[in-house]
Chains A and B, each alone.
Chain A
Amino acid sequence: MKIIAAFEKTKELSYTSHLDVQRTLQRAFRRANLPLAFSRGFNPHPKLSFATALATGYTSEGEWLEVELDKEITPEDFIEQVNAALPKGMRFVRAFVADDGFPTLSKMLVAARYLVTLYTDPPVSAQELLNAVRAIMDSEEVIVEKKTKSGIRPANIRPEIREAEAISASDRTAVVAVVGTLNAAGGLRAETFARALFERLSVNGRFTAHRTALCFEGSDKLPRLR
C-alpha cells in the first residue's frame, strides 16, 4: 500500500542532509515494524520518494513523501508508530492513503513557502526591510550569483519569487515570508533570496530558513498555493 505523509524537521536535526533523512526514515520504519516495499531487480531500492529535498540547515513544518509498504496500516497508526521510532526533531504530522493512480508528489509540486530570518549587523529598521522587499518585488530582474554544476554564474531569480512580505525587524533580526516556485525542474532557494535581501539592505550577516509549507496542484488532500 502507498502512504503519503508529511513530517516536520526541527532543531538540531535540521542539520542532517537529505541522504541522512532517507537513512533515518528507513531505519525508523524498520524499528516501527513497518516493512518498506523494495523494488525488484538486481539492486533493490526501497519505494520511498520525496516531493523534494530540503537543504541541510533548514527547518520545516511539512516535508512530503510517498512510501510503499508491505503491510496494511491506517494513516493514524502510521503516524503513531513511526513517530515512536523517530529521533527527537523529526515527527510526522499528516498522512493519508494514496489511491491507485495517485500522481507522484514531485509532479504535483509547484511552490514552497519560507520564513527567512536575517541576522544583521548593524540592525535594520522595519521600514528599511519593507523597502528592500518592495525593491525586490518591483524589480524586473534580481541577479544573484548562483552555484551551478559548471561554476558560479549570475542568474535572475526574480521570476521564481511569487510573493514576499516583510514580517518583522527588531534586535538585529529581520524576518521575511517568501513564496517561491518549486518543482521537479528546480526553483527558488531561500539562500539566494536571503543574499538578494542582504544586498538590498547593504548589510552582512547570516540567515536561517524555515519551510512553512510545500504547495501542490492537482489534489485536495495536499496543501495548495491559495
Chain B
Amino acid sequence: MNDRTLDMLLSRVEKPARYIGSEWNMERKEVYDFRFALCFPDVYEIGMSHLGSRILYRVLNDMDGVYCERCYAPWTDMEQALRELNEPLFTLETKSPLKDFDVVGFSLLYEMCCTNVLTMLDLSGIPFRSADRDESCPLIVAGGPCTVNPEPIAEIMDAILIGDGEELEPELVACVRQAKRDGVSRRELLLRLSAIDGVYVPSLYRPVFENGRYVRMERLCEQAPEHPVRRVVRDLDHARYIGRQLVPHMQIVHDRVAVEVMRGCTRGCRFCQAGYIYRPVRERRKETLLDQTRDLVRCTGYDEVSLLSLSTGDYSELHELLPRIIDDMAEQKVSVSLPSLRIDSILKDDLEKMQTVRKGGLTFAPEAGTQRMRDVINKNVTEEDLLRAVTDAFTAGWCGVKLYFMIGLPTETDEDILGIAELARKVSNAFYRLPKDKRGSGFRVTVSVSTFVPKPWTAFQWCAQDRQEEIVRKQQLLKTALKGVRGAELHCHPSVLSVLEAVFSRGDRRLNGVLIDAYRRGCRFDSWAEHFKPDAWAEAFSENGLTMDEYAHRERAADEPLPWEIVDALVTPAYLLREWNKAQEARTTKDCRQGCNGCFGEHCEDYCRV
C-alpha cells in the first residue's frame, strides 16, 4: 500500500493510531521467505493487551527467515473506509494485504469475536469456508482458548491449534514451509499438519447428526488422529517469553509489562473454563521471573509491571518473590500489581508493602451469595474470608469495594440471589461498624452481576443456562433486595449476549452457517453493546433451521455425545462428570495441590507434575 492511500484511509478514521504500527520493538525484517499474519479479531487496544499474541509474535519472529506481522479487526469506520476505497485490510508492519501471507492465524479468546474473523477474511478477499479456498489462498488457522471446542469455526479454518502455542506454532510453520518447498497439494499439506500434536484439521472429520442432534464424528481418513490432544508446554521456566515486548503509542487496555508467573490453576472452580483447560499448573522459578521483569522493564520503558496468572496468590514462592520484585522495581520507580488475587490469599503484609496499590480499586469475586452455592461451584472461599478481607481494606483506608457475582448458576434458588444482597449488606455493615475517625467517607459497595455461561470442558458443560426471562426476574429480585443497603450499587450485565455466548461455547459444526449468515446481516463486534444485533442473529438461526434454545437452555444427558469431545483436552469427561455430580450435591473438591483429584485419567503420568 502506498503512503498516499494509507493517508487517505487514516484521515477517515477516529483513531488512526490503531493502524500505523511503528511501535517500539516492532519487528523490521528485510530478508525472509515465509510470512505469517498474526491476527486478532478485536480492536488494537484489546489485541495488543493479549499475552499469548505477544509471546507468539516473539516466537515466530525468532525463526530464521520467518516474518510475523500483526493485524487487528478494523473498527467499523476503518471497515467502511476500506470498502469505499476498495482497499484490502493490511498488516501493521509492512501494510501488506493478508492474501500475500503464507499463513493467516487468528487468536480466539472469546466466542463473540468470531464475526470479526469473517470481516477480516472478507476485507482480504479470502473465501469464508476452507472448502472454497484453493492453493492461491494463505493457510487459515486459529488458536486460543476457544478452540477447545473447535466445531463452531470448523468449516472456516483449514487447521485449528489446540493448547499452548509457543512450541506448536513453530512446528506448524516448519511443516507449511517444507510442504511449499516440496510443492505438495493443499490436501497433502492438511494431512501433514494433522500429524502434528495439537493440530485439528476439521476437513478430515465429518460430524453426523440424527434427529437434529449431534451423534458422532466420522473420521474421513485413517491418517488423521482419533482425537487431537491439547498441547502443553511442559517446562514453563525454560519456555520462550515475550522478550522485547511491543510498546504501543496509544493507550491499550493492559498498558504495562506483563510477567507470566505461572500457567494453570489448581483451585478447580467448576464454572471456570480456564481453570480446566490450562492444567496442569506450571510455575516459573522466582529467579527467572526477576530476570525477566528487569529485562522487560529495561527494554520497554514501562513504569508498571503486572504479575500475571489465573491466581497469582497461589504462586508457591510468592512471599519470597514479591518483596524482592517490589524492592527491585522501587529503585526504578516502577510499580507492581497483582491482578488476580483471591480473598483467602494471605497477602496483607505484601499489600502494605506495595505502596503503589491505588486506593479505590479493590475487587473481590465471591461469585455466589450463599455458602451452599459457593460449594456447588467449588469456589472455596467463605463469608468470613470476605469480611476479613474487606475489613482489613477499610481499616487501611479503602472506602469502596467491588464484588463480582454470577447468577443463573446450576441449582440456584431465590435464596441464593437474596444471599448476594445479604453479603453486600454485611460488607456495608463492616464499613459502618468502624469508628467514624477510622474510616473514609463516600462508601460504595458495587455489586457486579454477570450471567452464568456454561462452558465446554468444565463440570457444568452439561447444564442448561437459565432463560432470559428468568435471569431478568432474578436481577429484579436482587435489585429490590439491595434497597436499603447503605452504599450499594448494582451493575447487571445484559443477558441477551450471554445466551449467544452459551450457544457458541457449546456449539457444533452447524453454527458455521449461522455465523456466516449473521455476518452477512451486518453482525460485527458482537461483544460491544452498541454493535450487537440480536434480531439479525435470530434471523440467521431460523434461516439455518436452528434455535438458540436448543444449544443454550437444554440440559445434556450424561451419556449424550458432545461435539467438542473430538478434542482431547487432557481433563477427562469422567472426571468432569464426577465434579458435576458432586456439584449437584453441593460437595466440594479440594485444591489439587493438596493431593491429586485424578482429573487427567491416563494422561496423569505423562502430563501432570504437580
The answer to whether A27 touches B302 (Cβ under 8 A) is: yes
B302 proximity list for chain A (CB < 8 A): 27, 30
Mark each residue of chain A from 40 to 64: 1 if its CB lies under 8 Å from any CB of chain B, else 0.
Answer: 0000000000000000110000000
Contacts A16-B249, A24-B249, A88-B22 given; indicate if A31 touches B7 (C-beta within 8 A).
no
Cβ-based interface call for B24 (8 A): yes
A26 proximity list for chain B (CB < 8 A): 301, 303
The answer to whether A20 touches B17 (Cβ under 8 A) is: yes
A19 to B17, CA, bound (A): 12
The answer to whether A12 touches B20 (Cβ under 8 A) is: yes
Cβ-based interface call for A83 (8 A): no
The 8 Å CB contact of B10, one of A17, A23, A57, A86, is A57
Cβ-based interface call for A13 (8 A): yes
Cβ-based interface call for A102 (8 A): no
The answer to whether A15 touches B301 (Cβ under 8 A) is: no
The answer to whether B250 touches A27 (Cβ under 8 A) is: no
A11 to B6, CA, bound (A): 10
The 8 Å CB contact of A89, one of B6, B10, B22, is B22
Nearest CB in chain A to that of B3: its residue: A11
B568 to chain A, nearest CB (A): 44
How big is the A interface, by class? Answer: 20 to 34
A218 to B7, CA, bound (A): 37
Cβ-based interface call for B77 (8 A): no
The answer to whether B16 touches A27 (Cβ under 8 A) is: no
Mark each residue of chain A from 1 to 30: 1 if its CB lies under 8 Å from any CB of chain B, else 0.
Answer: 000000000011101110110011011111
Cβ-based interface call for A67 (8 A): no
The answer to whether A13 touches B20 (Cβ under 8 A) is: yes
Cβ-based interface call for A208 (8 A): yes
A30 to B334, CA, bound (A): 11
A130 proximity list for chain B (CB < 8 A): none
The answer to whether A27 touches B17 (Cβ under 8 A) is: no
Within 8 A of B (CB), among A116-158: none
Cβ-based interface call for B21 (8 A): yes
Cβ-based interface call for B464 (8 A): no
A223 to B26, CA, bound (A): 34
Cβ-based interface call for B11 (8 A): yes
Within 8 A of A (CB), among B1-32: 3, 6-8, 10-11, 16-17, 20-24, 26
B578 to chain A, nearest CB (A): 50
A16 proximity list for chain B (CB < 8 A): 17, 20, 249-250
Chain A residues engaging chain B, CB cutoff 8 angstroms: 11-13, 15-17, 19-20, 23-24, 26-31, 35, 38, 56-57, 85-89, 206, 208
- Could you list some 19 contacts between A and B, CB below 8 A? A12-B22, A15-B16, A15-B20, A16-B17, A16-B20, A20-B251, A24-B249, A28-B24, A30-B302, A30-B332, A31-B24, A31-B298, A35-B333, A38-B333, A56-B16, A86-B24, A87-B26, A89-B22, A206-B8
Chain B residues engaging chain A, CB cutoff 8 angstroms: 3, 6-8, 10-11, 16-17, 20-24, 26, 247, 249-251, 298-303, 332-333
Which 10 A-B residue pairings sit nearest by Cβ, starting from the closest?
A27-B301, A12-B20, A30-B301, A15-B16, A31-B301, A20-B249, A16-B249, A87-B24, A12-B22, A15-B20
